[in-house]
């Protein structure tokens, strides 16, 4: 058997795991590992400018491909800088392995230079973390880390590696484990057959059914099964912000997404339904509004890989623990075989009602002859990219506009920090996608607040030639904060105004990119076309949009699903 | 409602902190906590007593089960079970108090395990409310120091918590 140092074993393990890219930043405790990285070319390393961005890059890659991302950083500040990124991935169940250097095991606990208890610091925001206690354990620990990160409900796994574990002069036998089995960890591989049967019977007997799908459908690669089942049943479907793309938005059965900024028809249909089939969604507070007023007439079937997500905030009548693809496949087979059919008359009158809601509101906004509306920028981008781009976003109004007006027909294309709501996520996530999808259009839709949270990555984009398109919806304010202040604090705009914004055009140019400013409505289409035609350039597009726009619909706080503001003056 | 949850945990560094961290992270209550290795040295057994609504208890057991190092767990309060807690209590014992304390210790089936001219140290095992009863019977004025182990529990009958 081959003898390798801990550092070489680590890199070899990554190779054997099939890892192509890692994102990171070197430092003292990780230097043995970086040296091993230098002596090979199978695993490619992308040097970021801040560790948080490395994690978001890995995250963007994981969301677009469904494969775990990988990060490598040093101890202390290198490790703590990853925490926001790890928490972002944790909240959205994104598979990821974060390899952190650590001071030598002999120094741990002595407050050594760049020492942080990364096991302790990361614990609340990881699916699991592992510490290397002997170099020979490295291959098994790496195998275990990827296995845990990418199975069951996925999530980030941190591996803490003291520097002496990777010392070049100590060598050990290397073998990468083919299989890993943990007696304390066995995710469900199928749902309970009896529960599935019961659920299907309920579904077929329902008169006002609705399917409520979440990010779990995308993570579980079950869009195909879901689409087939929904079409077979002919029922309306809505999805969460994280579930966008799990069912084609252009399809007539799709009601748009639901919740705080969801569509009128989706929220109305949820509230008036008599049966909700929840698939890989977790009844988050941004969806349910006040839980005690949630959908009073509905019985609930809840499919989730994570038992703890079931009956956490809303009680399920039929809980089904299992992978969504397997469960939906069984459901589809039962629906096809069943002698019972959905009640056509009830369904027709349910659709008639839904179509009335659609006609009443749908998605609409007031246009203006001279001011650029953020919504129209998104609609235009959708048209110009044929609805086929990867779209990342940061957090705030631009995120909601992008999710509302870019109609996604495919999964894994809408990439945003839904659970944690991390500003600064969009650009590095877009970079992670562009790196592995060079021929696809990758848009980062952002605002002048969010983009400044990881703007240093324009430098990384220059180094690796990552021609993403940054669409900065510049309203010169922290728009969502300002909207809440308008609605709840009598327009006292406490610290939501961005004074002394940089000249983004010059800034882009300083980093070696192209900057384009759009401030006239008539320039919007021709300039966006020019921007999209610059295939091999990163273009920073600074668009001056309406400073006073709000995101609607918006649920009324502490109300039920159907209590919404539809504009600044209309409340239902 | 008060519950006793018994957990088999991988006997690894950091495993306990995950359990304790989970309780504080998710705003659950820990009343008592005991932990020690089992006859299989790769496993620890942890017993936690907690209170909460049915929904909270369901979440606690589900979230505990999600921890990668938790091998198995059982809510002992769901069935017949035995619970025991050990208390060592140091009491002021002079003059006529000495006989009185001795009588009370006998009634509670405890033992005096250390004696000085002015102090008795008493050992008492039982369900938590029995220990509370003893302290109440003695009266707090005579109590110098109390140490309690936290609850350990086991199911009655054939039912076992093992691999």
| Mean pLDDT over each residue of chain B, to the nearest integer | 96
State yes or no: is A113 an active-site residue. yes
| Mean pLDDT over each residue of chain A, to the nearest integer | 97
At A439-452, the pLDDT tens digits run 999 999 999 999 99
Interface test with A, best of B25, B62, B163 (most A CBs within 10 A): B62
Angle at B55 (CA atoms; ends B49, B61), nearest 5 degrees: 50
Q: Which residues contact A158 (CB under 8 A, 6 or more apart)?
A: A86, A97, A98, A100, A118, A119, A122, A126, A129, A130
Domain that residue B69 falls in: 2-79
**Which residues on A lie below 8 Å from B25 (Cβ)?**
124
**pLDDT at site A361:** 80
Nearest residue in B to A312, CA atom: B59
Alpha helical stretches, state H, A385-493? 397-405, 426-436, 458-464, 479-488
B110 and B139 fall within a common domain? yes
**Is the model's pLDDT at B71 over the cut of 90?**
yes
Q: Is the pTM of this model over 0.90?
A: yes
**pLDDT at site A498:** 82
Residue ranges matching CATH 3.40.50.1220 in chain A? 193-360
Q: Is residue B112 part of a domain?
A: yes
Q: Which residues contact A196 (CB under 8 A, 6 or more apart)?
A: A320, A327, A330, A331, A334
Residue ranges matching CATH 3.40.50.970 in chain A? 3-173, 374-551
Averaged pLDDT, A352-358: 97
Interface test with B, best of A157, A308, A310, A312 (most B CBs within 10 A): A308
Averaged pLDDT, A51-69: 98
**What is d(CA A52, CA A80) in angstroms, rounded to the nearest whole number?**
9
Q: Tell me the HSE value of A531 on the side-chain side, using a 13 A CA sphere.
A: 30
**Is the model's pLDDT at B141 over the cut of 90?**
no
State yes or no: is A144 an active-site residue. no
| B68–A128 C-beta distance less than 8 A | yes
Total of domains in chain B: 2
Q: Is residue B101 part of a domain?
A: yes
**What is d(CA A319, CA A311) in angstroms, rounded to the nearest whole number?**
8
B72 and B94 fall within a common domain? no
**pLDDT at site A351:** 98
B57 and B115 fall within a common domain? no
State yes or no: is A312 an active-site residue. no
Domain stops at, among B79, B94, B117 = B79
B10 and B70 fall within a common domain? yes
B86 and B122 fall within a common domain? yes
Cβ burial of A491 (10 Å; 0-12, 13-18, 19+) is exposed
Q: Which residues contact A70 (CB under 8 A, 6 or more apart)?
A: A14, A19, A21, A22, A23, A58, A96, A97, A98, A99
B87 and B144 fall within a common domain? yes
Residue B69: how many other CB atoms lie within 10 Å: 20
| B70–A131 C-beta distance less than 8 A | no
**What is d(CA A354, CA A348) in angstroms, rounded to the nearest whole number?**
10
A306 contact B CB<8A = yes
Nearest residue in A to B73, CA atom: A184
Residue B76's φ and ψ, nearest 5 degrees, are: -60, -30
In the numeric block, the tokens 């036998």 are attached to: A173
Residue A258's φ and ψ, nearest 5 degrees, are: -115, 175
Q: Is residue B157 part of a domain?
A: no
**Class of CATH domain A374-551:** alpha beta
Residue A394's φ and ψ, nearest 5 degrees, are: -95, -145
**pLDDT at site A419:** 97
Query: Which pLDDT band, with edges at 50, 70 and 90, does A363 fall under?
Result: confident
Greatest CA span in chain A, whole angstroms? 77
Name which of A116, A65, A119, A59 is nearest A84 in CA terms.
A59
**Which residues on B lie below 8 Å from A148 (Cβ)?**
68
A53 CA to centre of own chain: 15
Per DSSP, the residues of B48-113 read EEEE--HHHHHHHHHHHHHSTTEEEEEEGGGS-EEEEEEEEEEEE--TTHHHHHHHHHHHTT-EEE
B57 and B15 fall within a common domain? yes
Name which of B39, B44, B42, B135 is nearest B87 in CA terms.
B135
At A481-521, the pLDDT tens digits run 999 999 999 999 999 988 899 999 999 999 999 999 999 99
In the numeric block, the tokens 């994690």 are attached to: A55
Q: How many residues in chain B? A: 163
- Between chain A and chain B, the number of residue pairs with CB atoms below 8 A apart is 36
At A378-418, the pLDDT tens digits run 999 999 999 999 999 999 999 999 999 999 999 999 999 99
Domain A3-173 in CATH 3.40.50.970: yes
A105 contact B CB<8A = no
At B20-41, the pLDDT tens digits run 999 999 999 999 999 999 999 9
B24 and B69 fall within a common domain? yes
Q: How far is A128 from chain B (nearest CA, A)?
A: 7
Q: Is residue B50 part of a domain?
A: yes
| A124–B14 C-beta distance less than 8 A | no
Averaged pLDDT, B104-113: 98
B60 and B45 fall within a common domain? yes
B26 contact A CB<8A = no
**Is the model's pLDDT at A362 over the cut of 80?**
no
| CATH code (residue B91) | 3.30.70.1150
**pLDDT at site A484:** 97
Nearest residue in A to B43, CA atom: A184
Query: Residues A368, A371, A374, A378: is their CA dihedral positive or negative?
Result: positive
At A418-432, the pLDDT tens digits run 999 999 999 999 999
* A124, A185, A311 member nearest B58 (Cβ): A311
B17 contact A CB<8A = yes
Domain stops at, among B59, B79, B99 = B79
B44 and B90 fall within a common domain? no
Q: How far is A116 from chain B (nearest CA, A)?
A: 15
Q: Quickly count helices (H) and strands (E) in chain B.
A: 4, 9
DSSP 8-class letter at A25:
-
State yes or no: is A363 an active-site residue. no
State yes or no: is A51 an active-site residue. yes
Averaged pLDDT, B135-139: 94
| CATH code (residue B35) | 3.30.70.260
B53 and B101 fall within a common domain? no
Residue A45's φ and ψ, nearest 5 degrees, are: -110, 135
At A131-160, the pLDDT tens digits run 999 999 999 999 999 999 999 999 999 999
At A175-220, the pLDDT tens digits run 999 999 999 999 999 999 999 999 999 999 999 999 999 999 999 9
Kindly state which CATH superfamily the domain A193-360 is placed in.
Answer: TPP-binding domain (3.40.50.1220)
| B17–A184 C-beta distance less than 8 A | no
**What is d(CA A256, CA A246) in angstroms, rounded to the nearest whole number?**
11
**Which residues on B lie below 8 Å from A311 (Cβ)?**
55, 58
A131 contact B CB<8A = yes
| B69–A183 C-beta distance less than 8 A | no
> Which helix (H) or strand (E) element contains residue A170?
none
In the numeric block, the tokens 């709000």 are attached to: A550
**What is d(CA A426, CA A421) in angstroms, rounded to the nearest whole number?**
11
B105 and B52 fall within a common domain? no
**pLDDT at site A499:** 84
């Amino acid at each position: 058997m081959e003898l390798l140092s801990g550092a070489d074993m680590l890199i070899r393990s990554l190779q054997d795991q099939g890892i192509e890219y890692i994102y990171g930043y070197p430092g003292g405790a990780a230097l043995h590992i970086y040296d091993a990285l230098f002596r090979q070319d199978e695993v490619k390393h992308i040097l970021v400018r801040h560790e948080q961005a490395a994690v978001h890059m890995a995250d963007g890659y994981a969301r677009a491909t469904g494969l775990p991302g990988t990060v490598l950083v040093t101890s202390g500040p290198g490790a703590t800088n990853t925490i926001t990124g790890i928490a972002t991935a944790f909240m959205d169940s994104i598979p990821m392995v974060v390899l952190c250097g650590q001071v030598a095991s002999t120094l741990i606990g002595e407050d050594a230079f760049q020492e942080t208890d990364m096991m302790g610091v990361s614990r609340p925001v990881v699916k699991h973390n592992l510490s290397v206690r002997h170099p020979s354990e490295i291959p098994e620990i790496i195998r275990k880390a990827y296995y845990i990160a990418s199975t069951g409900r996925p999530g980030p796994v941190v591996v803490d590696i003291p520097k002496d574990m990777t010392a070049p002069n100590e060598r050990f036998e290397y073998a990468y484990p083919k299989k890993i089995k943990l007696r304390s960890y066995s995710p469900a591989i199928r749902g309970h057959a009896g529960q599935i049967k019961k659920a299907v019977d309920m579904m077929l007997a329902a008169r006002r059914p609705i399917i409520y799908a979440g990010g779990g459908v995308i993570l579980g690669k079950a869009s195909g099964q879901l689409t087939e089942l929904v079409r077979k049943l002919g029922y309306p479907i809505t999805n969460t912000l994280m579930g966008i793309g799990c069912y084609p938005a252009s399809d007539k059965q799709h009601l748009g997404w639901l919740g705080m900024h969801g569509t009128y028809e989706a929220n109305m249909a949820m509230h008036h339904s008599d049966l909700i089939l929840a698939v890989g969604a977790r009844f988050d507070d941004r969806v349910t509004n006040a839980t005690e007023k949630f959908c009073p007439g509905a019985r609930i079937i809840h499919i989730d890989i994570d038992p703890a997500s079931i009956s956490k905030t809303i009680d399920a009548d039929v809980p089904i623990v299992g992978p969504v693809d397997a469960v939906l496949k069984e459901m589809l087979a039962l629906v096809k075989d069943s002698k019972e059919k959905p009640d056509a008359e009830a369904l027709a009158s349910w659709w008639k009602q839904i179509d009335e809601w659609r006609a009443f509101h749908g998605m609409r906004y007031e246009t203006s002859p001279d001011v650029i509306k953020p919504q129209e920028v998104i609609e235009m981008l959708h048209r110009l990219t044929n609805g086929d781009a990867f779209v990342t976003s940061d957090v705030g109004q631009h995120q909601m506009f992008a999710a509302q007006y870019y109609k996604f027909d495919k999964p894994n294309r809408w990439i945003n920090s839904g659970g944690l709501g991390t500003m600064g996520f969009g650009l590095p996530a877009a970079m992670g996608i562009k790196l592995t999808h060079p021929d696809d259009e990758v848009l980062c839709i952002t605002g002048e607040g969010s983009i400044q949270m990881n703007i240093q990555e324009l430098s990384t984009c220059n180094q690796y030639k990552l021609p993403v398109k940054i669409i900065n919806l510049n309203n010169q304010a922290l728009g969502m904060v300002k909207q809440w202040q308008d609605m709840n604090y009598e327009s006292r705009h406490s610290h939501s105004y961005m004074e002394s914004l940089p000249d983004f055009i010059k800034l882009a140019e300083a980093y070696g990119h192209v900057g384009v400013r759009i401030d006239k409505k008539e320039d919007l289409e021709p300039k966006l076309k020019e921007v999209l035609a610059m295939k091999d350039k990163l273009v920073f597009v600074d668009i001056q949009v309406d400073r006073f726009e709000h995101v609607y619909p918006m649920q009324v706080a502490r109300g039920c699903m159907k209590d919404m503001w539809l504009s600044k003056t209309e409340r239902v | 409602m008060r519950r006793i949850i018994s957990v088999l945990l991988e006997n690894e560094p950091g495993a306990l902190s995950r359990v304790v961290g989970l309780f504080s992270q998710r705003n659950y209550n820990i009343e008592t906590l005991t932990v020690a290795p089992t006859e299989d040295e790769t496993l620890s057994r942890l017993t936690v007593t907690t209170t909460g609504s049915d929904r909270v208890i369901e979440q606690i057991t589900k979230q505990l089960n999600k921890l990668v190092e938790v091998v198995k767990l059982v809510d002992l309060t769901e069935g017949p079970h035995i619970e025991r807690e050990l208390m060592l209590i140091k009491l002021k014992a002079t003059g006529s108090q000495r006989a009185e304390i001795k009588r009370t210790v006998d009634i509670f089936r405890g033992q005096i395990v250390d004696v000085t001219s002015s102090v008795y140290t008493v050992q008492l095992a039982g369900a938590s409310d029995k220990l509370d009863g003893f302290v109440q019977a003695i009266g707090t004025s005579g109590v110098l120091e109390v140490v309690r182990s936290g609850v350990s529990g086991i199911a009655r009958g054939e039912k076992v918590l093992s691999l």
